[in-house]
Every structure is written in structure tokens, then in C-alpha cells.
Chain A
Amino acid sequence: MKFATDGKDGAVRALGASFALALSATALEGLSAGLCLAAVLFVTEFITALFRPILPDKLRFSASLLLAATTATLLSILAEKFFPAFYGAAALYFPALAFETVVRIGTENTDAAFFTGLFTVGALFLAGIIRELLGSGSLFGFGLWDFQIGFFKHPAGAFFVLGVIAACMNLIKRRTHA
């Protein structure tokens, strides 16, 4: 259960990242943003863990940051080539992705990084579904109804939905600990 707890803690912190907040307007965008965050987090932690025996503690943070920056660069190139629509929305946020994963989320081991990534993908996907359903009355681009609440399309809606999800995750964590 330790991994799951670590995962929830990291995922709650991930919800405050600019990449998560800016890219959760639709279900597909939320899923893509979650996968990007999870990929940077896992690759960085996995490679750092591989080199841990020969990597001095003093250099660990710098090495993690460089690895995260490299992974973010590769992801931005892939997104530009294969998912231009997502890249259009995310281009501004890719540079800060390295700091968001290493400084804000910063997991302790590969297992924690994996579970944090998993919970982050789930949380952002859920945020995207809620915002798309309520903000645009559609899901995955397919219109479901005419009822729309503009608030959920705006930045205020992103803060609100992710704040409620973060509070729910904290509540679940407390219940599972009790």
C-alpha cells in the first residue's frame, strides 16, 4: 500500500502543475497531458535509479533535471509531429515540464514514480471529462447535449475542478489510512 499512498501524494501535487492546469480542458487533452507528465516522471526516475550507484548525491538533482528536460524536449518533438493540435496548446508549457516533475512532484523511487504517473493520468483524464462534459456538452469531441456552463472552459474552471479532485484524493487517502 506504500506505493499507492506515495502515488496519491505525488498525484495531488501534480494537479498544481501548470501543465496539468492548462491542459485539462477536454478528455483527450487531459489524457495526453497526464501521459506526458507520467512519461517524464517515470523516465527521469528510472534512469536516475539505474545510475544511482555511481551518481553522487550532490549531482542527483541536476542529473534528474537534465533528464527531465531531455524527455520533455523529445516529447515536444513527438507531439509536434504526431499530435499538432495538442502541441499547439502545450508548446508554452513543455519547457516548465522539467521543473514541474522534478521540483514539484519529485518522487523517491521508480515504483512511486510509476504509481504517481498512473494516478496523475487518471486524475487529469477525469478532470478533462468533467470539464468537457460540463463546459462544452460533449465527450471526445462528440456533442451530447446543448447544455453548457462556460465557467468550466475558463481558467477558473480548471482551478475549481482540479481543486475538487485534489480534495477528493486527499479524502480517499485519509479514509484508506483510517
Chain B
Amino acid sequence: MKSLLLAVFAAAFSRNILLNRFFGLDAAPNLKKALTGGLAATVLAVLASLIAYPISSELLSPLGLQRLEILLFVPAVSALTALAEKLLARPVLPAAADSLVLGVMTIALRGEFDPALGADPLLSAILFPLFAGLGFTLISVLLTATSIRTQHAPEAVRGLPAALLSASFLAMAFYVFTLI
């Protein structure tokens, strides 16, 4: 139980997918979109990992075809996000959802959190994307809140530079979680 809690804590805070792994940097136009976009991306990441896990472990790894992972999973994730956009009937997902989902999926498939989850790769493929996605949602909301307040900043700083600088301060704040 303790190792499970530690893994969950690491996925959401101390090794946050955005602040430590840099996947999915993007400030949404408002807080509601940041929250719904983050949650939608979380669901997609869990789905993608669940679909990719048997393909990777039962098909690609035994045949020694891991090199094809990029060629196989990039179009698959793109199709999954396009399908989600169509089903939701409105643009909910963040602009960087594709790379975020693929990033989370890659980390989950590499079994990086297996030792902490009692060496159960399937559990890792479900729990890691779930908590990494929730960690991403939290940071996405915080970044958007900061970005709304930088609307009066000099023009050169607005947009991506402001998001990067805000992420820098958040990364410093979240660094304390790595010390626990």
C-alpha cells in the first residue's frame, strides 16, 4: 500500500509529467477549459495506455519490433484524439494533448513505475496515466491562472514565454516534493 501511494504521489507531484518531463506545455484560454481539457486528456492517456500495453508486450516485444513503436503509436494516438474530438463535438482537448498522451503512454510502457507498483505492469499502465494526467490537470490550471494574469505584461513576454517562465516558478515550488 505504501509503495502504491508513493508511486501515485510521484506520478502526480514529484515527477510531474509537465514540470519534470516537459510533456504538454500549453496555457488554455480560461480555467474551465484547462480543467476539462486536462481531465479529457487524462481519460485519453489511460485509454491509450490500456490499448498500447497488450500490443507492446504481446506483439512488438516478443517479435523484437520495439523500434516500430513510434511509427505505430503516433498515428494511433492521433486517431484516438481525433475520435475523441468528434465524439465530444467541440474542441475540449488541449493543443498539446497528442504529445502529452504519447509521452504518458511511453513512460507507462517502459514500466518506469513498476518497482513501486509491485512489478505489475498492467497496474502501472492504468494507474500511472491516471495520476500523471491528474498532475498535468493541476499544473495546467495553475499555468492558465498565471497566464490570465500576464495579459498586461509586455507583448514580447505574453504567450509562450510567459507560460515557460510561470512553469519555471511552478517547477521550483514543486521541487520540494522531490525532497519528501
Residues of A whose CB lies within 8 Å of any CB of B are 12-13, 15-18, 21-22, 62, 65-66, 68-70, 72-73, 76-77, 92-96, 98-100, 103-104, 151, 154-160, 162-164, 166-168, 170-171, 174
Contact = CB atoms under 8 A, between A and B. Distances in A.
A118 to B, nearest CB: 19
Q: Chain B CB within 10 Å — which of A70, A96, A100 has the most?
A: A96
A162 B20 contact: no
Which 5 residue pairs across A and B have the least CB separation, nearest first?
A: A163-B164, A159-B168, A156-B171, A167-B161, A21-B22
Interface in B131-180: 155-157, 159-165, 167-169, 171-172, 175
B36 interface: no
A73 B70 contact: yes
Given A18-B23, A166-B160, A95 B73 contact: yes
A174 B171 contact: no
A167 B163 CA distance: 11
Contacts of B24: 18
A12 B155 CA distance: 14
Contacts of B156: 167-168, 170-171, 174
Contacts of B26: 16
A120 to B, nearest CB: 13
Contacts of B77: 99
B164 A96 contact: no
Interface stretch (B1-9, B38-46, B96-104, B115-123): B96-104
A50 to B, nearest CB: 20
| Binding site secondary structure of chain B | helix
Contacts, number: 130
A147 B52 CA distance: 46
A42 B36 CA distance: 34
Q: Chain A CB within 10 Å — which of B25, B68, B74, B78 has the most?
A: B74
B157 A170 contact: yes
A95 B69 contact: yes
A103 B103 CA distance: 15
Contact of A99 (B21, B74, B171): B74
27 contacts: A12-B160, A15-B164, A16-B163, A18-B21, A18-B24, A22-B21, A62-B75, A66-B74, A69-B71, A72-B70, A73-B70, A93-B103, A95-B74, A96-B23, A96-B102, A99-B74, A99-B98, A99-B102, A104-B95, A155-B19, A156-B175, A157-B168, A159-B168, A163-B163, A170-B156, A170-B161, A171-B156
Interface of B: 19-26, 67-71, 73-75, 77-78, 95-96, 98-99, 102-103, 106-107, 110, 155-157, 159-165, 167-169, 171-172, 175
Contact of B164 (A92, A94, A159, A168): A159
A132 to B, nearest CB: 18
Nearest to A94: B70
Contacts of A170: 155-157, 159, 161
Contacts of A171: 156
B23 to A, nearest CB: 5
Given A170-B155, A174-B156, A69 B70 contact: yes
A160 B165 contact: yes
A92 to B, nearest CB: 6
A24 B164 CA distance: 14
